[in-house]
Amino acid sequence: MAVAKTLALWVLAAVSLAGVGVRAQPSPEVQKRISAAIKKAGQSNSTEIDYTQFVNVFIGTDNFGDVCPGASVPFGMVKFSTDLTGYAPAGYITDPTQKIRGLSPLHDSGTGSSLGTYGNFEIMPMLCPGGFNSCKVLLADRERFRKNNTDDAYPGYFSQTLDNDIKMEATSTRRAGLERFTFPKGSGKPYFALDLANDLPASYVGGSMNIDPEQGRITIGGHWGSSFGPGIYSYQAFACYDILDGGKQKLSEYGVWTGMSDELFDAKGLGQTSLNLTRNLIGGVYESGALFSYEGEPTEINIRVGVSFVSVDQACANAESEVGTSSFEEIVAQSQALWNEKLSKIEIDIKNTPANVTELLYSSLYRGSLTPNNATGETQGAFAGTTHPYFDSLYCSWDTFRTFYPLMSLHSPVEFAEIVDNYIDGWRKLGWMPECRANNLPGWTQGGSSADPIVGQFAMLYHNEASALGIDLDELYSAMLADAEINPPEWNTLGRQVNVYKQYGYVPFGVLDTQSVGRQTREGSRTLEYAFEDFALRQVALLLNKTDDVAKYTNRSLFYRNVWDPKVESDGFKGFAQKRWPNGTFAFTDPVDCSPNDSDDSRECSLQGDNVVGFYESSSWEYSWFAPHDTAHLIELMGGNSTFVKRLDHFFNAGYYLAGNEPSFQTPIGYHYANHPTNSVDRVREVVFTNFDITPAGLPGNDDQAAMGTLLVFHLLGLYPVPSTSQFLVLSPFTPKYTIHNSFLNVSTTVTVAGFNATSVQQTIPEGAAAYVKSVTFNNVTSPNRCHLDFYDVFRVGGELVIEVTADKASVDDCGAGLPESVSTGGFAAAR
């Protein structure tokens, strides 16, 4: 359930949403610091702005947002954060009823894996008045509550204090970092438990740990299982803990421990220096690790940590090369400098922008560069030794192709190109591009081969610069062709079930497939997604002048029509996407099934084998809007403009819309295609203010690796991308002025909102407040339409874009000379 807020009521108190229980807040100082920084920046004329001050890393750490607030650099392989009990896929959550089990360097952000992901190499500070053998080292025994209202974090820094007043802090580089622990004065000898086996999903397969007391170094290596993929796979990870702070700290006791909480088994070996343990085949994790203490009862302990996916030696080398002898404060400063370089890619008029919009925008932009995790040089398995960039945690391309990568394309094409090369390298090594990569392993496919619209987006915008960015377009297209034409023997993790799709013109329900295996569910949504992926191929074929392929994939991009059943009726509206038998008859499922209005709470709607609805994490009410490349024909299928608009209104007003579900991302702007763009402006205002805010519960569910965050950025900027095209739909910005910098192209584009009225920035635009787009002018040339613009006309060349707004809604409720493009009306006919 969403909680509505207007600008005036956008309070900072925690929001209690249905079904999520008691809520906590980070330290009140976090919001005070951010608010003060925004106010100061608005009053200053200085051009030297610290954009990290505007970022609230705790947004999305509640209400199942699954955001990791840990210390990281842009696309960092490490994200230092605490791990808590309960539902905490990213390790940290704000819920005060959950306990802290340790601090660890590896996490993902914005993923919905219910058991969590990574969380390896946890370290837990503790006090043991009875000495070494009295220490509570097992997870269930050592867990502690936090000290309320002390959680603190900002880009490059994380801190949490235990209820016994031990403070834990962390900062990071790409593959390493520093941990700092402050013990209360007079509390006694500081002890630490460092885990070998434990991780968040309890997936340990086997590994070893060694303590070198003379060098003051503990090394760990092992194998763990996937958090979102087949259980037959495992990945390797290694860590190097330097615990003497360059000789400033001295060990007192050290040793190893093993145990199992459910068997009340806890054994310690004082002075022992190694563990070598395999998987416990009878079940349960055989907990194990190191235990050590320091002489002299120091109140501050510093530990350097390096991580690798290759070897222990490389983990230590990463710590030495990336941290070395730098102080904690120096690493924080280096991390913040990297974040400022990234965040300053979009500069807004802070003085005249509502403060909450500033905080939302930069917090979302931050998360848009938090993942995927740059693990270049840290490859294993089929990718070991690759000379190409490598990124872990691509879950999942189905989530990120719609807004995440289109936003990156505007301001960071170099990083975008590296990730695209990483996708292509998946094809080089495995035969298909990855759809979902979790823990360096193939993850579950959700829609099909969603890498296709991602690499297609890159090709459409940067084909002229592809070579300079390290991308071979012919190779890129070959990778797309493999996805579209070659059916993998097992398509749960790679590729598509294209054999039957090509044979029938849709993915049939209950089909006999004698060539491949996979979970035969989601037939309706897979057909819709396959068709859009074919559109992405069609676009790149246009670029490469492959005329036959253009015709072929244009035709296949229209296969979405083959699952449209015009006879199905719901709530008075006719025509819905449905799954379909091989003989051509439709297999009816109620369009309401798996929607928020579904009365059956037990219905399975995701990857479960008993999902019989035909759609992935969605209803037919929601997925029937999905044809981003051909909305004009979708309007015809639904009965024309008038019925389309009424149906859109009903979709929102009746509660079928889910802001946190990717198939709905473009739906609020659907009115553009029916020539009623002012309705889109109204709807986007409503969507933002009923689903997003600056509290920990400020996301409408899982951030999905910043898919939600980047969607919000586009809404706030008054734009929306049509994936795999160079077209952007124009809306009403929430800020009077902003500049997007593209350092690779060496251009900047400033967007000014003429007539901007801050009172329009709320859920319902007040009468008389200018918010509706009257005209769009770029470099003094007014566009004949006010609904869309092209990357090549604006962001490729740079300059000034003026969006003029008016309060006279009726006078501007049309697109002017041209509607947004659709394939069926001759759109997207030529590559730029």
Which residues on adjacent β-strands are paired with residue 801?
Answer: 751, 778
Q: Token digits for 690?
A: 């009923």
| Residue 1 belongs to a domain | no
What is the rounded distance in angstroms from the CA atom of residue 650 to the CA atom of residue 577? 17
Q: What is the DSSP-derived secondary structure letter of residue 289?
A: E
Domain C-terminal end among 323, 341, 359: 341
DSSP code string of 117-131: S---S-EEEEE-TT-
350 in the same domain as 337: no
| Residue 60 belongs to a domain | no
Coarse DSSP helix, strand, coil percentages of the chain, rounded to the nearest 5 percent: 30, 20, 50
| Residue 106 belongs to a domain | no
* pLDDT (tens digit per residue) in 105-161: 999 999 877 778 899 999 999 999 999 999 999 999 999 999 999 999 999 999 999
350 in the same domain as 331: no
DSSP code string of 452-481: HHHHHHHHHHHTTTTTTTT--HHHHHHHHH
What is the rounded distance in angstroms from the CA atom of residue 173 to the CA atom of residue 694? 27
End-to-end CA distance of the chain: give it in Å, rounded. Answer: 43
Q: Which of 526, 534, 522 is nearest to 483 (CA)?
A: 534
493 in the same domain as 414: yes
Which residues on adjacent β-strands are paired with residue 534?
Answer: none
812 in the same domain as 760: yes
State the pLDDT at residue 282: 79
- Non-local (6+) Cβ contacts of 11 within 8 A are 5
Mean pLDDT of 679-705: 97
H or E element that contains 415: helix 413-430
522 in the same domain as 468: yes
| Residue 793 belongs to a domain | yes
357 in the same domain as 336: no
498 in the same domain as 417: yes
415 in the same domain as 303: no
pLDDT bin (cut points 50, 70, 90) of residue 23 is: low
328 in the same domain as 376: no
Domain encompassing residue 582: 346-825
414 in the same domain as 311: no
State the pLDDT at residue 112: 74
pTM for this model (two decimals): 0.96
Report the CATH number at residue 210. Answer: 2.70.98.10
Strands 747-754 and 799-806: parallel
pLDDT at 5 over 50: no
| Residue 632 belongs to a domain | yes
Mean pLDDT of 227-253: 96
| Residue 33 belongs to a domain | no
User: Domains in the chain: how many in total?
Assistant: 2
Integer angstrom CA distances of residue 282 from 207, 239, 720 = 17, 27, 52
pLDDT at 283 over 90: no
Work out the angle between the directed axes of helices 473-485 and 523-543 (0-180°, nearest 10).
Answer: 150
552 in the same domain as 628: yes
* pLDDT (tens digit per residue) in 468-523: 999 999 999 999 999 999 999 999 999 999 999 999 999 999 999 999 999 999 99
What is the rounded distance in angstroms from the CA atom of residue 421 to the CA atom of residue 431? 14
Classified as helix, coil or strand, 68 is coil
* pLDDT (tens digit per residue) in 178-218: 999 999 999 999 999 999 999 999 999 999 999 999 999 99
Domain C-terminal end among 290, 318, 341: 341
State the pLDDT at residue 13: 29
| Residue 160 belongs to a domain | yes
Domain C-terminal end among 274, 308, 341: 341
| Residue 100 belongs to a domain | no
pLDDT bin (cut points 50, 70, 90) of residue 12 is: very low
What is the rounded distance in angstroms from the CA atom of residue 608 to the CA atom of residue 819? 40
pLDDT bin (cut points 50, 70, 90) of residue 44 is: confident
Classified as helix, coil or strand, 391 is strand
368 in the same domain as 403: yes
